[in-house]
Structure 1
Amino acid sequence: MLLKSKQSYDLTEAAVTDEAVFYNRRRLLQQMGFLGAGSLLASSASAGLLDFFSSGDKPAGPQFQQAPLTSIRSPYSTAETMTAESKATGHNNFYEFGLGKDDPKANAQGFKVNPWQLTVSGAVNKPLQLDYDALFAPELEERIYRLRCVEAWSMVIPWVGYPLATLLRQAEPTSAARYVAFQTLHDPAQMPGQGNRFLGGGIRYPYIEGLRLDEAMHPLTFLAVGVYGKTLPPQNGAPVRLVVPWKYGFKSIKSIVGIKLVEREPATTWNISAPNEYGFYANVNPQVDHPRWSQASERRITRGGLGSDERIPTQMFNGYGEAVADLYAGMNLRKYF
């Protein structure tokens, strides 16, 4: 086995911070003109919609029902203090449901995940079509991973799922497969941000992401179907999402409907929107700052509470370097950021 239950990245930190983090990408979108007051005031209808998605006083609606999952504890887990479930499920970036950190939880509770279809296609010998139940067919593991957002906040989250490699091996990649492209569900009726440039920040939908094939096949790369022992809530990417713990969080695409193996490097959503700020690789790297803020440290969100903020140093590859550094041997990580 590549990793043991205790590794150099398995640090113990009782970080206790609150939820007050700086919305850096929101400011980027404002600079791009998608969140500007003048643009919103030009359309009272759009202004009203944005008020709905930004207001803390949102009308009550149906609550998404999670189901318990049975899993085994994985030795790939960190021993760090876990983030409280209420924080991990209430503080999210998922612009399909709004721009504020609390918008996805408030606005996605009516999201329908069953029926669902996930396809694996492209340069494979055995294309796959998985319905909702099939997503849960492999043996499930609980993996407690660090999650590092590009906005310089982090969490420690217990995901439930299985290695992405489990699925890819079933599809039998051909010799032409060098990259893996991913796509989120495109359904503006359910995901209002996809149909409104103000609510969704003006990025191009559906959301797309990609990995090199060796990254996708790495044992740490995980398909999550649950969190905190239950099926995923919609704000965390129900019914199935990617988790790549050594990369910034925007690489871990949510609500996946398409996985395609391809020969050339695929386009990715944030790289299209701001190529000088969000590279294809997006490896956590404290030595390479974002153009508008430092990546040397991060705010760890655990239980939260006023006055409890604590910044911790950011680790190279988010602390998983012992396992993944060889993937990038000889690469200029400042150029290939």
Structure 2
Amino acid sequence: MAKRYQYPSIASSEITPEAVYLNRRQLMSAAGLGLSALALGGTNPARANAPDTRRELAAAAGPEAFQTDEKLTPYGDVSGYNNFYEFGTDKSDPARNAHTMTTDPWSVEVGGLVNKPGKLYLEDILGSFDLEERTYRLRCVEAWSMVIPWVGFPLADLLQRFEPGSDAKFVEFRTLYRPDEMSGTRSLTSIIDWPYREGLRLDEAMHPLTLLAVGLYGKTLPNQNGAPLRLVVPWKYGFKSIKSIVSINLVDRQPATSWQTLAPREYGFYSNVNPEVDHPRWSQRYERRLPSTLFSPNRIATRMFNGYEAQVAELYQGMDLRKYY
């Protein structure tokens, strides 16, 4: 079952060291306790007696969806090997350049086909949504993958607050576009029409596996990983999990997305992990689980829907997944 977080004020001397955190399963098994806290914000008293929907969501997806016995990817790989083209196209560029991005203050506009359009500030998000830890596999289309303990909350919780209209069918996301802080957007060789855009079908967005993440490994999200708020859709290729979100709109038509617009033959709107559908330039049947090196490749077979078939396959019943790739 996913672990929930609450946020009292904690002295730094009382925070669990990362080395202990990484062995949390053994610690929790011995002590029968959950993690103490992630120092991201304060508890909202107004939600103290609110109905507990976390357990319902977890039960709907199945508890196995939120946990895994797979070895976690080292924090250094998670934070140092990234795709975030706003800061460069090399995997090491984001870690080197993303410190220039300002993440405070931060707000997210939610609009379109909703009954209550509006804006949420980061402090509102951290204080009013129940954050929890979920360990997900995240696979990138370039055939490498990671296993990451994310901290966040279901996207459905946020969308429900703004009351989706009956004619809403898709969710459109946009990332921050601030050229003076994002060196990759100023490059003469940039191939993306900024800002970066992504989208989901509404039922995908409302699925309990779909997460808005604000942290990983019990820490605030690093800039290069999409601070301060990013999407995590674990059964899809990584580029669907848009980083540094500033806008969410509900619409009645399939929205244009960055990579599908740029290369529709290579990147479909759905982008579900499917080992039977090859990328035009490489096979999708295997992946490299980081860490992996030339002389010690950690090569494993790709699983349908990235291993979440039991939880999400019903979303695509009757669809030709070669056509709707």
Q: TM-score range by the shorter chain?
A: 0.7 to 0.9
* Matched residue, 2:33: none
Supply the RMSD in Å over aligned alpha carbons: 1.2
* Matched residue, 2:297: 309
Q: Secondary structure at the match of 2:108?
A: strand
Q: Secondary structure at the match of 1:108?
A: helix
Q: Which runs of 5+ in 1 are unaligned?
A: 8-75
Q: Determine whether 1:148 maps to 2:139.
A: yes
Match of 1:111 among 101, 124, 146: 101
Task: Quote the offset at 1:307 in angstroms.
Answer: 2.6
Residue-by-residue CA offset, 1:7-29 (whole Å, 9 max, x unaligned): 6xxxxxxxxxxxxxxxxxxxxxx
Residue-by-residue CA offset, 1:67-124 (whole Å, 9 max, x unaligned): xxxxxxxxx1222110000000000000100111000000011321011110110000
CA distance in 2, matches of 1:327, 1:274: 25
Q: TM-score, normalised by structure 2?
A: 0.80
CA distance in 1, matches of 2:165, 2:62: 31
Q: Determine whether 1:300 maps to 2:278.
A: no
Aligned 1:228-307 pairs, distance under 5 A: 228-302=217-291, 304=292, 307=295
Match of 1:173 among 164, 189, 201: 164
Instruction: Confirm or deny: 8 A CA contact 1:5 1:78 kept in the other structure.
Output: no
CA distance in 2, matches of 1:188, 1:135: 26
Moved over 6 A (4+): none
* Matched residue, 1:4: 62
* Matched residue, 2:179: 188
Change (3 A) 1:6 1:180: closer
What letter matches 1:185 in structure 2? L
Aligned 1:59-138 pairs, distance under 5 A: 76-137=66-127, 138=129
* Matched residue, 1:214: 203
Task: Quote the offset at 1:6 in angstroms.
Answer: 3.4
* Matched residue, 1:41: none
Instruction: Confirm or deny: 8 A CA contact 2:61 2:209 kept in the other structure.
Output: no
Task: Quote the offset at 1:306 in angstroms.
Answer: 6.3
Task: Quote the offset at 1:259 in angstroms.
Answer: 0.2
CA distance in 1, matches of 2:281, 2:100: 36
What letter matches 1:86 in structure 2? G
Task: Quote the offset at 1:333 in angstroms.
Answer: 0.3
Instruction: Confirm or deny: 8 A CA contact 2:61 2:208 kept in the other structure.
Output: no
Q: Determine whether 1:205 maps to 2:263.
A: no
What letter matches 1:186 in structure 2? Y
CA distance in 1, matches of 2:188, 2:130: 40
Instruction: Confirm or deny: 8 A CA contact 1:197 1:203 kept in the other structure.
Output: no
CA distance in 2, matches of 1:131, 1:192: 25
CA distance in 1, matches of 2:248, 2:185: 20
CA distance in 2, matches of 1:324, 1:289: 21
State the aligned residue count.
266
CA distance in 2, matches of 1:147, 1:312: 14
Residue-by-residue CA offset, 1:23-51 (whole Å, 9 max, x unaligned): xxxxxxxxxxxxxxxxxxxxxxxxxxxxx
Relative to structure 2, which stretch is displaced further, 263-272 or 187-196? 187-196
Task: Quote the offset at 1:285 in angstroms.
Answer: 0.1
Instruction: Confirm or deny: 8 A CA contact 1:210 1:266 kept in the other structure.
Output: yes
Task: Quote the offset at 1:202 in angstroms.
Answer: 1.5
Q: Which runs of 5+ in 2 are unaligned?
A: 1-58
Q: Which has the higher contact order (CA 8 A, sep 6+)?
A: 1
Q: Secondary structure at the match of 1:6?
A: helix
Task: Quote the offset at 1:132 in angstroms.
Answer: 2.0
CA distance in 1, matches of 2:150, 2:112: 28
Q: Secondary structure at the match of 2:271?
A: coil
CA distance in 2, matches of 1:126, 1:184: 21
* Matched residue, 2:48: none
Q: Secondary structure at the match of 2:158?
A: helix
Residue-by-residue CA offset, 1:48-70 (whole Å, 9 max, x unaligned): xxxxxxxxxxxxxxxxxxxxxxx
Task: Quote the offset at 1:305 in angstroms.
Answer: 5.7
Q: Percent identity?
A: 60
What letter matches 2:268 in structure 1? G
CA distance in 2, matches of 1:206, 1:3: 33
Instruction: Confirm or deny: 8 A CA contact 2:136 2:234 kept in the other structure.
Output: yes
Q: TM-score, normalised by structure 1?
A: 0.77
